[in-house]
Every structure is written in structure tokens, then in C-alpha cells.
Amino acid sequence: MAEQSSDAFIFFGATGDLAFKQIFPALRGLIRDEKFDVPIIGVAKAGWHLEQFRARARDSLDHHGGADPDTLRKLLDLLRYVDGDYADPATFSRLRQELGAAQRPLHYLAIPPTLFATVVEGLAASGCATNGRVVVEKPFGHDFASAVELNGILHRCFPEEAIFRIDHYLGKEPVQNILYTRFSNPIFEPIWNRTYVRRIQITMAERIGVQDRGQFYDATGAVRDVVQNHLLQVLAILTMDPPTGEQSEAVRDEKVRLLKAVRPIAIGDVVRGQYTGYRSVPGVSPDSTTETFVAVQLHIDTWRWADVPIYLRAGKKMPVTATEVWVEFGRPPRETFAEHVSPVSSHMRMRISPDIDIGLGLRVKQPGERMVGKDVELILTRGGAANLPPYQRLLGDALHGIGQLFAREDFVEAQWRVVEPILGDVAPLYSYEVDTWGPQQAARLLGPEGIWLNPAPPALAQAQDTANVQ
């Protein structure tokens, strides 16, 4: 089955926000770029008919870049619609009829996890799950136990190789570029270890607050929302060993091995924060203790990374929106020219969003007779306009049975094991002001010699003292 492409695409929750913002635009791209040509069946309980569903698709594309006439016509021709309650077997009987001769359907569950069991059982009972695949959205559970339970529900009807747990972050071109840059350039491998790396920082900052997601976010928090998934994914790609062999599972095997070596985060190694004004957001409890900021220190117990401190930080209502990785290299045991040099003088910086660049920190001599230097960054900058949208990439891979960019069962459970000790209200919650870098208490994690390396706004990044590589 893994070598055959799916011959139908079904998405549950077809009238919801995710379909409107991501799935319809992704399908447009697949039709335009990959000649996607299989039935597209939306399933929802909205009291709609097919023409209303087609109108929703048109509206979605109007809001997300439009479509050329041929692509739009093809998309509308491929659309089918089944309206009904997920708990009603008749809904799945109608779905089976709409599938017609299709024998290898891909089911996308754009629905709350509480409905997964109902839908999966309905698919199995109607024969729609036979030879099929299923795509599920994060969150993959709420903690370790619920993740195990969720995996059990999916495995009732689908083997692991047919389950595609989608984390759109893995579909981002800059995230994939970390993997490629590491293993295609032999200059990095000899120094990518505890001997030369002093510490690692990964920051995911957002200027926005929780907006209209108050009720969801208040039950989730920063650890569950981005640390357990996005940031641990980036960490695994950044620190994993080279994949061995050419099997499609090689990369995922190494990521799992790495994450299983990450020590569960101790309560003393986390600082939680909440921005002022959060509790007045609609849907948020007036006495909420949910974190909108979190900083953690963690360790990887392998020969490559033993004793290298790693810091992850994520927060809302911060000065900029940016995700950035800093790998700080150690200074020589003796400064040859007797200078006072910043410990972050030698570094590799990888900007993932919103702009994309890779910076290599060096010291160069200043003009003149004295042997005095200054810090510069060699920067490779690339715009993101030409990047394949994450959902288009991921849906295309799922349709072809390519699982490398999706989270495997053992990886998800390893992620939850790392953050399990710090879930919930287990550590003090500090308040921080909007447009700041979180509570000052986060500085204690880095010790007296460390500082948080804050991402610069995109406009200011160009004003840095850099040598640009074209």
C-alpha cells in the first residue's frame, strides 16, 4: 500500500476553519502543480448541499490568493459532499457510495480528537477504512496517557504505516533546510558535538496574543501548544545523528533515538509566564494559571551532546514574531590577542521564520595597526515566497504514502515523556508585560554567564554589521 497513491481524498470537518484556511488552498496547489485528479469528498454536519460546499471552496481561494480558471474549475468538478452526523452509520454509508470505485482513500480528520473514535469506527464499519490512510491533526493527545489512548484508537482500524500525524511545522521549507544544511556540508559534522558546541538556544516568539482562541488556549498553554511538538521537532532535527541507509524510515528512526535520549524536564528547569491582560481575553478564566510564555533547560544524554545545555523558549505578546536557532561554539582555551571576546562571538544562527536566513558568526580584524577585531555575521538570506506551502507538501506526501515528514507513534510518545513533568500548574507563574521578552526570572536558567539571544525584527536584521553572501 505504501507504494500506491490514494485514489480519493476525504476530509471530515470540511466546513470548518482549517478547511477554509489550509485544506482548500493546499488542494488548489496540488491540482495546479501535481495534476491531482481524484474525488475530493467533504464530510460535515452543517445542513449544506454540494453547491454551498463549492461556494465555500471559492470563498476560501478568494481569501487565499485566488486560482486560475482551469484550476478552479477542476477543483469544483472534483468536489463531493456528504452531510450528516458522525455518530449516524447512514453518514458513512453515503460516504461509501460517493467513493464509488475508489479503493485506497485518504481520510483527513480535521475534527476535535474527541470525535476520532466515533469517526474511525464509522469508517471501519462501512468499509471505508479498508486499504485506506488517515491524517490526524495535532494535538496528539493532552499528555502521555491520552497520546497512548489516541494511538490505540487509530490502530483499531489503521496500521501505523497508514497513520499520518500532521505537524505543519515539519512541512516548512526552512525546517527541512536545517536537516539538509547539516548533512550536506561536511564542514559542520566535525564540530557538531559537545567538544565544540557551548550551548544551544531555540526561540519561538510571537507578537500576537491568543486572539479569538481564548477557550482553546486556556486549556492548552505554551508547553502543549508549541514546545511539545514544534520546538522538540526542531531540536530533534538539529541534534540527531546522520540517518543510516536509504530506507524512508531512516530519518524518523534517528529522530526517535535522539528524543528518547532527552532527559525529562525537571520542574526546577522551567520558568512559566503569563502576559498582562491575558485573563481579560474572551474564553479565558479570570483566575487562569495557564502559561503564555515558557522557557526550559534540557539535556540530551548521549556521547555527542552530554553536558551541553539546551534552552527552549516560546511566548506570545513578545517584541517580534520570529523563530530562531542559535548554536554557540566555545571560544579557544586562550585568546591569542588578549581581547575580551563575547562568548557568542562564534555561532551559527538559523532563522526559520518569518524571514529565512543562516548566519555564521566570526571575528575579523579591524583596519589599523592594532590586532583588534570585531564580530560580524556572514549571512545567507533567502525569501520565502517560492517555498511550497506546508499543507500542500504534507497532503501531497500523505496521498503518496510518504511518511518522513509526519510524526510516528513512538516519536509522539517520546515528546510527551520529555514534557510530562512540567505540564499544568507545577511551577510558579510570573507576570510579564506586553512587548517584552517574558519574565525576568527566565534569565536564571542560563546562569551568570549566559544571556538570551533575542531575534531581531526582520527590518533591523539588515542593518547589522554583516558580510552578505549572494
Q: Which residue numbers are catalytic?
A: 230
Q: 66 by DSSP, 3-state: which?
A: coil
List the grid coordinates of 175. 525546517
Which residue, 322, 28, 47, is CA-closest to 203?
A: 322
Region of 438 (left: φ > 0; alpha: ψ -120 to 50; beta: rest) is: left
Give burial (CB, 10 Å; 0-12/13-18/19+) of 330. middle
With cell 580584524, the residue in question is 365
Give burial (CB, 10 Å; 0-12/13-18/19+) of 392. buried
Beta bridge partners of 197: 329
Which residue, 23, 20, 12, is CA-closest to 111?
A: 12
DSSP-derived letter for residue 65 is T
Which residue, 246, 343, 256, 263, is CA-closest to 299?
A: 263
In this structure, what are the phi and psi dihedrals at residue 118, rounded to the nearest 5 degrees?
A: -60, -45
Give burial (CB, 10 Å; 0-12/13-18/19+) of 37. exposed
List the grid coordinates of 411. 516519536
Residue 438 CA to its chain's centroid (Å):
22
Which residue, 229, 39, 15, is CA-closest to 111?
A: 15
In this structure, what are the phi and psi dihedrals at residue 53, rounded to the nearest 5 degrees?
A: -65, -40
In this structure, what are the phi and psi dihedrals at residue 9, rounded to the nearest 5 degrees?
A: -125, 120
Q: Please give the Cα distance from 53 to 23 (Å, whole number).
A: 13
Residue 247 CA to its chain's centroid (Å):
23
Q: 63 by DSSP, 3-state: which?
A: helix
Q: How far is CA 20 from CA 14, 108, 142, 192, 284, in A?
A: 8, 14, 25, 42, 25
List the grid coordinates of 57. 471552496
